[in-house]
Amino acid sequence: MIDSVDIEIIGYVNSCFTEKFGAPRQSGLVPSAEARLRMIEPFNRREMVRGLEGFSHIWLHFLFHRVKAEGWKTTVRPPRLGGIERIGVWATRSPHRPNFMGLSVVKLRDIDFSDGVELVIAGVDILDGTPVLDIKPYLPSSDSIEVATEGWAVQEFGALEVDFLPIASQFCAEYEAETGVPLQQLISEILREDPRPASQRVKKDRYGMRLYNVNVHWHVSDAACQVLGCEKLV
Amino acid sequence: MIDSVDIEIIGYVNSCFTEKFGAPRQSGLVPSAEARLRMIEPFNRREMVRGLEGFSHIWLHFLFHRVKAEGWKTTVRPPRLGGIERIGVWATRSPHRPNFMGLSVVKLRDIDFSDGVELVIAGVDILDGTPVLDIKPYLPSSDSIEVATEGWAVQEFGALEVDFLPIASQFCAEYEAETGVPLQQLISEILREDPRPASQRVKKDRYGMRLYNVNVHWHVSDAACQVLGCEKLV
């Protein structure tokens, strides 16, 4: 009996999420979060993606490469349970898990052959630089089980209200004109889901995150957040 | 940049499918196909599955261990396209793929602690002895995308009619009384989906498969199959 196996990286993701804080907790929550999966040799042959363009969604198997050094534990404290209750690691999708393997379904927007093979994907919850292990088409006939019960991970309702100070809106409009990235929409979708770890919710009222090369600052009070400003990193 | 990673086996599946022929092409097609995932050290601690019992379905990441020696190609000929047209391997779930990683959603029936930690699962398409790499809860809120488009993998309709000769029905009834396995139901669900590879459909009209320790023989004509007999392997 084998007890381990060597798995090769097939590509890397370039994503707007350059740090963990701000990255959505599941794929699909932030539709404007676009990324590119760049296939590497020998997994980047054009014919390997033939027929993939007909699928609206794909599965990505990837590695939680940033948390590997932190290790894993047999139980974790999910943010959705307030960070207090301990759940078995197999009952969660925590990145701190044996093998550090992640699984996300993302929208397949396009396949770009202009420089190698790159998949343009959206609705990602994947950090920049993430190594990918496999790609599979999403098959609604077998993968979509609406009636499945969700255990402890019941859905939170009541998304946060998000508004922008004029100076922040102006920055976003200029950034979008320059880069094509719909930054204000992206920030709104991220903050609406409240990216703060449960442990930080009472500690402070100002937060910052990095998206692409931009620092975003916001303020939280009750069920609303206000984007105070953005600045480009040099 | 890393180019490969060592992934540990966390458990092994004991399944009714002891050979590839007869195993369903996707999970969920054969609800009566039960199996057991036995967790191994150090991934078999009881607290690691705490909270998992609330989920009706789980994802299994596993290895297509039986086809590894056969290697992979950049394109494959899916049975659903008659085995003629070539599709890119990333646009399929073919077992002959880089890294030989499989992904299936299965029903979680029970967690058995009577001898270590074993997950009792159903609707499997996984061969006996399959090594498992990860377990994740199925989250309908993010995993169920009913409107996703299915590309070339359009659903086949028109399942086969299945009937049993009296001698075959009698064998199944005795086997069920002895082992608790609903063998006739299981065989019906498997044959209904027509397990024959496209390349064999015109070549012969009699087929055999192994389920648990039983050889099953059937005959196919037009859109019907008839189970001719079953026998126990010694």
A4–B contact, CB cutoff 8 A: yes
In Å, how far are A76, A98, A100, A104, A128 from A70, measured between CA atoms?
A: 13, 12, 11, 22, 18
Query: What is the mean predicted confidence (pLDDT) over B51-76?
Result: 96
Residue A196 confidence (pLDDT): 85
**How many CB atoms within 10 Å of residue A79?**
18
Which domains are delineated in chain A?
A: 11-143 (2.40.30.70), 161-232 (3.30.2310)
**Using CB atoms, which residue from A57, A63, A142 is nearest to B26?**
A142
Minimum mean pLDDT among A40-54, B88-102, B213-227: which range? B213-227
Question: Is the CB of B88 less than 8 angstroms away from the CB of A149?
Answer: no
Angle at A93 between CA A211 and CA B48, to 5 degrees: 145
Question: Is the CB of A5 less than 8 angstroms away from the CB of B5?
Answer: no
* pLDDT > 70? residue B158: no
Q: What pLDDT band is residue B156 in, cutting at 50, 70 and 90? A: low
Question: What single DSSP character describes residue B184?
Answer: H
Name the residue among B209, B171, B213 with its Cα closest to residue B190: B209
* pLDDT > 60? residue B78: yes
Residue B133 confidence (pLDDT): 98
Length of chain A: 234
Min Cα distance B190 → chain A (Å) is 16
Q: What pLDDT band is residue B137 in, cutting at 50, 70 and 90? A: very high
Report the distance separating Cα A58 and Cα A136, nearest Å: 6
Please report the DSSP string for B60-90 in residue order: EEEE-TTTGGG---SEE--GGGTTTS-EEGG
Exposed e or buried b per residue across B127-152, where buried means at least 16 C-beta atoms within 10 angstroms of its C-beta: bbebbbbbbbbbbbebbbbeebebbb
Cis geometry, peptide bond prior to residue A95 (ω within 30 degrees of 0): no
Please report the DSSP string for A70-107 in residue order: G---SEE--GGGTTTS-EEGGGS--SSSGGGEEEEEEE
Residue A205 confidence (pLDDT): 80
Could you read off the pLDDT tens digit of each residue along chain A, which spans 234 residues? 679 999 999 999 999 999 888 888 888 889 999 999 999 999 999 999 999 999 999 999 999 999 999 999 999 998 778 778 999 999 999 999 999 999 999 999 999 999 999 999 999 999 999 999 999 999 999 999 999 998 887 766 568 899 999 999 999 999 999 999 999 999 999 999 888 877 666 667 889 999 999 999 999 988 789 999 999 998
Report the distance separating Cα A220 and Cα A225, nearest Å: 4
Residue A228 confidence (pLDDT): 97
Residue identified by tokens 């396209």 is B81
Question: What single DSSP character describes residue A230?
Answer: E
Structure tokens at A15: 């994503």
Radius of gyration (C-alpha) of chain B in whole angstroms: 19
B111–A contact, CB cutoff 8 A: no
Structure tokens at B165: 């000769």
Give first-to-last CA distance, chain A, whole Å. Answer: 52
Structure tokens at B56: 């009706």
Residue B126 confidence (pLDDT): 94
Pick the residue from chain A with its C-alpha nearest to B78.
Answer: A51
Residue A203 confidence (pLDDT): 67
**How many CB atoms within 10 Å of residue B107?**
21
Residue A59 confidence (pLDDT): 98
Cis geometry, peptide bond prior to residue A42 (ω within 30 degrees of 0): yes
A1–B contact, CB cutoff 8 A: yes
* pLDDT > 60? residue B212: yes
Interface of A with B in 17-56 (CB under 8 A): 26-29, 43, 45, 47-56
At residue A47, φ and ψ (nearest 5 deg) are -70, -15
Helix (H) or strand (E) holding B163: strand B161-164
Pick the residue from chain A with its C-alpha nearest to B155.
Answer: A141
Q: How high is the mean pLDDT of chain B?
A: 92
Length of chain B: 234
3-state secondary structure of A23: coil
Would you say A181 and A228 are in contact if contact means Cβ atoms under 8 Å apart? Answer: no
Q: How many CA atoms lie within 13 A of B20 on its CB side?
A: 9
- Interhelix angle A166-179/A183-192, rounded to 10 degrees, is 120
Structure tokens at B174: 């005795």
B152–A contact, CB cutoff 8 A: yes
3-state secondary structure of B180: coil
A90–B contact, CB cutoff 8 A: yes
Report the distance separating Cα B82 and Cα B186, nearest Å: 25
Report the distance separating Cα B94 and Cα B88, nearest Å: 10
Report chain B residues whose CB lies below 8 A from the CB of A6.
4-7
3-state secondary structure of A4: strand
Q: What is the pLDDT of residues B1-19, one digit of tens each?
A: 679 999 999 999 999 999 8
Q: Which runs of E-coded beta strand occur in A64-190?
A: 75-76, 87-88, 101-112, 118-122, 131-137, 161-164
Q: What is the pLDDT of residues B194-210, one digit of tens each?
A: 888 776 666 678 899 99
Residue A158 confidence (pLDDT): 61
Question: Is the CB of A55 less than 8 angstroms away from the CB of B92?
Answer: no
Min Cα distance B1 → chain A (Å) is 9
Question: Is the CB of B133 less than 8 angstroms away from the CB of A101?
Answer: yes
Report the distance separating Cα A135 and Cα A104, nearest Å: 10
Structure tokens at B79: 């049975």
Report the distance separating Cα B110 and Cα A105, nearest Å: 27
